[in-house]
């Protein structure tokens, strides 16, 4: 179910790897996957005697046929009376197709205005060429998930399937991770990049499109990680900042990471994350040319916070420097100030 739900989420614009999605969603606390909690709700509303369960497995179906099994459970006299629909084409994506769609979703996030139409066009090109069975979780991960649900699944087995030894078998077969690049994959990548070129510039600007194309290709080829989920990060600063005799300002900021992934800043040019600063007047308006960003070297592990020191020198020759009353800090990704979308990504300090 985890991999199936992940496939559905990708279609809706998800920008997360299968592993990150699984770690966050496929937990006993999520009743969508917790059969004990789900069945308790149903039984509480309709009565336990009204809940008729079956294992969804072809080997368990009547004559190996889901439709026959389902109709027989409703009314045995209906067996053979229902005409099956024509089988629909497989709408799942191959691992290669999932990687490419993931790149599109990350380059054109759901929060980006005007991006939905581009994602739809790209998705059509990908589904035309890269249908197939999606990526599967590796054996250690599947075993870990199995163990985490063992208690709740055992209760379901004892209540509804007392004759079964276990609700589900213990995972014991590893599934190779498919990281191959096919001719169809290359063709799909070319078509997606063409869609972005043809439709993105007028909506989002040529620079955005150029960076989006590079991100799509990098994620597809495995050369880049997935953009960080900034909604789970907070930035805090001290109340007062003063420039030293050289005009340099030093600030100590605290970064709190409540996500399930490490947040990595680096001074290397390849790192697209930085900490931005801008001076504001007493009304909270940004002062022209009094802004910039600082690259730092720091890793904030998931569930922790870290102190970060930044130093910068505003243009003291600016006509606006004397109007400065406050300084605002924010995370920046690829030149974009993230506090506009995530207010907790911002911190303020008073200039003295």
Binned at pLDDT 50, 70 and 90, residue 255 comes out as very high
Query: Residue 179 has what pLDDT?
Result: 65
Residue 88, pLDDT above cutoff 60: no
Whether residues 264 and 296 fall in one domain: yes
Whether residues 92 and 131 fall in one domain: yes
Spacing of C-alpha 14 from chain mean position: 5
Spacing of C-alpha 147 from chain mean position: 24
Q: How far apart, in Å, are the Cα atoms of 294 and each of 104, 114, 217, 274?
A: 28, 30, 27, 6
If one counts every other C-beta atom within 10 angstroms of the C-beta of residue 42, the result is 13
SS3 43: helix
Query: Residue 144 has what pLDDT?
Result: 92
Q: For 110-135, write each residue's pLDDT tens digit.
A: 877 778 889 999 999 999 999 888 88
Structure tokens belonging to residue 260: 């399930």
Whether residues 209 and 235 fall in one domain: no
Residue 136, pLDDT above cutoff 80: yes
Whether residues 154 and 208 fall in one domain: yes
Domain range for 7: 2-221
Structure tokens belonging to residue 276: 């931005």
Q: For 186-244, write each residue's pLDDT tens digit.
A: 999 999 999 999 988 887 888 888 888 988 998 888 766 677 778 889 999 877 888 88
Spacing of C-alpha 164 from chain mean position: 37
Binned at pLDDT 50, 70 and 90, residue 308 comes out as very high
Query: Residue 19 has what pLDDT?
Result: 85
Whether residues 134 and 236 fall in one domain: no
| Share of residues in the chain with pLDDT > 90 (%) | 39
Whether residues 334 and 202 fall in one domain: no
Query: Residue 269 has what pLDDT?
Result: 74
Query: Residue 215 has what pLDDT?
Result: 87
Whether residues 180 and 277 fall in one domain: no
Query: Residue 272 has what pLDDT?
Result: 77
Residue 89, pLDDT above cutoff 60: no
Q: For 139-196, write each residue's pLDDT tens digit.
A: 999 999 999 999 999 999 999 999 999 999 999 888 776 667 788 999 999 999 999 9
Name the domain count of the chain. 2
Task: Tell which of 187, 221, 255 closes a domain.
Answer: 221
Between 19 and 331, the higher pLDDT residue: 331
Q: Which of 228, 208, 221 shows the shortest CA–CA distance to 108?
A: 208
CATH number for 316 = 2.60.40.10
Determine the length of the chain: 352
SS3 230: helix
Whether residues 285 and 196 fall in one domain: no
Q: Which of 53-67, 71-85, 271-285 has the lowest mean pLDDT?
A: 71-85
Whether 126 contacts 100, CB under 8 Å: yes
Task: Tell which of 221, 253, 269 closes a domain.
Answer: 221
Distance CA 108, CA 103 (A): 9
Distance CA 7, CA 18 (A): 9
Whether residues 313 and 202 fall in one domain: no
Whether residues 275 and 214 fall in one domain: no
Average pLDDT across the chain, whole number = 87
Q: For 14-67, write each residue's pLDDT tens digit.
A: 988 888 888 888 999 988 899 999 999 999 999 988 888 888 888 889 989 888
Q: For 177-190, write each residue's pLDDT tens digit.
A: 666 778 899 999 99
Task: Tell which of 204, 221, 238 closes a domain.
Answer: 221
Query: Residue 340 has what pLDDT?
Result: 82
Mind giving me the DSSP string for 60-114?
A: GSGGG-HHHHHHHHH-GGGTTTSPPPPPPPP-PBPHHHHHHHHHHHHHS-TTSTT
State the distance between the two ends of the chain, measured CA to CA, in whole angstroms.
57
Residue 103, pLDDT above cutoff 90: yes
Residue 318, pLDDT above cutoff 80: no
Whether residues 167 and 273 fall in one domain: no
Whether residues 142 and 26 fall in one domain: yes
Distance CA 256, CA 92 (A): 37
């Amino acid at each position: 179910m985890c991999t199936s739900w992940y496939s559905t989420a990708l279609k809706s614009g998800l920008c997360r790897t299968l592993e990150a999605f699984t770690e966050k969603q496929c937990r006993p606390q999520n009743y969508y996957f917790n059969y004990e909690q789900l069945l308790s709700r149903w039984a509480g509303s309709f009565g336990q005697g009204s809940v008729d369960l079956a294992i969804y497995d072809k080997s368990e179906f009547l004559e190996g046929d889901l439709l026959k099994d389902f109709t027989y459970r409703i009314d045995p006299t209906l067996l053979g009376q229902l005409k099956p629909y024509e089988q629909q084409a497989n709408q799942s994506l191959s691992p290669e197709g999932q990687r490419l769609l993931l790149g599109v979703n990350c380059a054109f996030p759901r929060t980006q205005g005007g991006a939905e139409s581009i994602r739809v066009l790209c998705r059509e090109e990908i589904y035309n060429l890269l249908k197939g069975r999606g990526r599967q979780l590796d054996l250690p991960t599947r075993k870990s998930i199995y163990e985490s649900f063992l208690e709740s699944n055992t209760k379901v087995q004892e209540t509804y399937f007392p004759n079964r030894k276990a609700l589900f078998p213990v995972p014991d077969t590893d599934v190779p991770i498919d990281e191959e690049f096919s001719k169809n994959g290359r063709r799909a990548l070319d078509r997606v990049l063409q869609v972005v070129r043809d439709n993105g510039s007028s909506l989002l600007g040529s620079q955005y499109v150029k960076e989006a194309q590079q991100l799509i290709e990098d994620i597809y080829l495995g050369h880049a990680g997935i953009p960080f989920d900034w909604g789970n990060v907070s930035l805090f600063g001290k109340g007062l900042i003063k420039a030293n005799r050289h005009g340099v300002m030093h600030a100590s900021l605290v970064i709190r990471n409540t996500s399930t992934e490490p947040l990595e800043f680096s001074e290397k040019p390849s790192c697209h994350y930085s900490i931005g600063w801008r001076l504001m007047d007493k009304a909270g308006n940004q002062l022209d040319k009094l802004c910039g960003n600082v690259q730092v070297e720091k890793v904030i592990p998931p569930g922790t916070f870290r102190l970060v020191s930044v130093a910068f020198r505003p243009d003291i020759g600016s006509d606006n420097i004397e109007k400065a009353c406050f300084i605002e800090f924010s995370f920046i990704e690829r030149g974009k100030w993230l506090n506009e979308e995530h207010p907790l990504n911002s911190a303020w300090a008073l200039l003295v």
